């Protein structure tokens, strides 16, 4: 199956996106930013629909809109306490715009919107793969710079603030990382299922790991194993890849739930 160009592209793009999501998902859970990640996924639809107004690709449209929304949410949010209100206000505004864009372009851009909604890992082109590598490099370099204060401020924001860590700037940087990650992940699982890659690998890792290193490793392996497994199953069983990724990751999570239950009795 790896002889096919589209399968190799799918594997490469899947591994890149899974690796980034694995790291980001741990912080999304610890920083309780799940609603922001969920909202940015939904805003992707507006970005894809609005791309028609500017004559750009659906992917670029969702990327730019997500980045803009992340900055606005970051500025509106409180420094220490995560502010779901800011996310909710921006989400409803952007979704309202999305409805209008879909009304304007319902015939011309339905394909672009559908691809963002449901994703298609087998349709990733060489050009898109290069874009994904570029975006993944930006995220990795940024995380390499901010990881230490991000980790500290995620675990203990009040004390981190007392050490002069710039919480608002870190929060905006992290929202930008989520925005770019969401845009990447929509390529393979779609906006409707983007949550699975942004939450479940981290959730699995936090069920087993005690330290930053082990948590990151478990998250990395669960996300990448799920993507590889899903590609193989999707190819041979002719099933949607996003469905297979979701089932494998959720299965991994439920193993942890059972383990916790058995430990508690």
**Residues binding other proteins (CB under 8 A):** 29-32, 80-81, 144-149, 151-165, 206-212, 215, 260
Nearer Cβ to other proteins (66/153): 153
Nearest to 173, CA basis, from 196, 150, 198, 201? 150
Q: Which residues of 83-105 are buried (b: 16+ CB within 10 A; e: fewer)?
A: bbebbeebbeebeebbeebbeeb
Instruction: Tell me the closest approach of the beta carbon of residue 38 to other proteins, in angstroms.
Output: 18
Nearest to 67, CA basis, from 210, 230, 176, 184? 176
Question: Residue 219 CA to chain centroid, in angstroms?
Answer: 14
Instruction: Tell me the closest approach of the beta carbon of residue 222 to other proteins, in angstroms.
Output: 15
Nearer Cβ to other proteins (83/242): 83
Question: Which tokens hold the place of 32?
Answer: 């309780």
Instruction: Tell me the closest approach of the beta carbon of residue 201 to other proteins, in angstroms.
Output: 13
d(CA 245, CA 234): 9
Task: Tell me how crowded residue 176 is: count the other CB atoms within 10 A of its CB.
Answer: 18
Question: Which tokens hold the place of 180?
Answer: 């770019």
Nearer Cβ to other proteins (43/215): 215
Instruction: Tell me the closest approach of the beta carbon of residue 205 to other proteins, in angstroms.
Output: 9
Nearer Cβ to other proteins (43/86): 86
Instruction: Tell me the closest approach of the beta carbon of residue 178 to other proteins, in angstroms.
Output: 16
Instruction: Tell me the closest approach of the beta carbon of residue 158 to other proteins, in angstroms.
Output: 5
Nearer Cβ to other proteins (46/153): 153
Nearer Cβ to other proteins (98/201): 201
Residue 38 contacts residue 25 (beta carbons within 8 Å): no
Give every CB contact of residue 146 below 8 A, 6+ residues apart in sequence.
Answer: 170, 173, 174
């Amino acid at each position: 199956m790896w002889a096919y160009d589209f399968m190799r592209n799918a594997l490469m793009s899947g591994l890149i996106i899974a690796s980034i999501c694995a790291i980001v998902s741990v912080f999304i859970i610890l920083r309780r930013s799940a609603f922001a990640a969920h909202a940015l996924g939904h805003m992707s639809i507006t970005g894809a629909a609005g791309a028609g107004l500017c004559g750009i690709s659906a992917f670029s449209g969702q990327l730019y809109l997500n980045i803009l929304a992340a900055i606005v949410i970051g500025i509106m949010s409180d420094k220490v306490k995560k502010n779901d209100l800011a996310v909710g206000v921006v989400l409803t505004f952007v979704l309202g715009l999305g409805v209008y864009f879909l009304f304007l372009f319902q015939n011309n851009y339905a394909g672009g919107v559908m691809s963002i909604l449901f994703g298609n890992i087998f349709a990733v082109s060489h050009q898109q793969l290069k874009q994904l590598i570029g975006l993944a490099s930006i995220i990795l370099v940024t995380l390499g710079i901010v990881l230490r204060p991000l980790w500290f401020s995620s675990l203990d924001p009040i004390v981190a603030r007392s050490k002069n860590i710039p919480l608002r700037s870190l929060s905006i940087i992290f929202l930008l990382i989520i925005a770019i990650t969401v845009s990447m992940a929509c390529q393979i699982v779609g906006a409707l299922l983007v949550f699975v890659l942004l939450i479940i690998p981290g959730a699995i890792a936090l069920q087993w790991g005690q330290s930053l290193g082990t948590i990151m490793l478990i998250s990395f392996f669960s996300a990448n194993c799920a993507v590889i497994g899903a590609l193989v199953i999707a190819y041979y069983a002719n099933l949607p890849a996003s469905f297979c990724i979701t089932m494998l990751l959720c299965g991994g999570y439920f193993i942890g739930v059972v383990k916790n239950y058995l430990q508690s009795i």
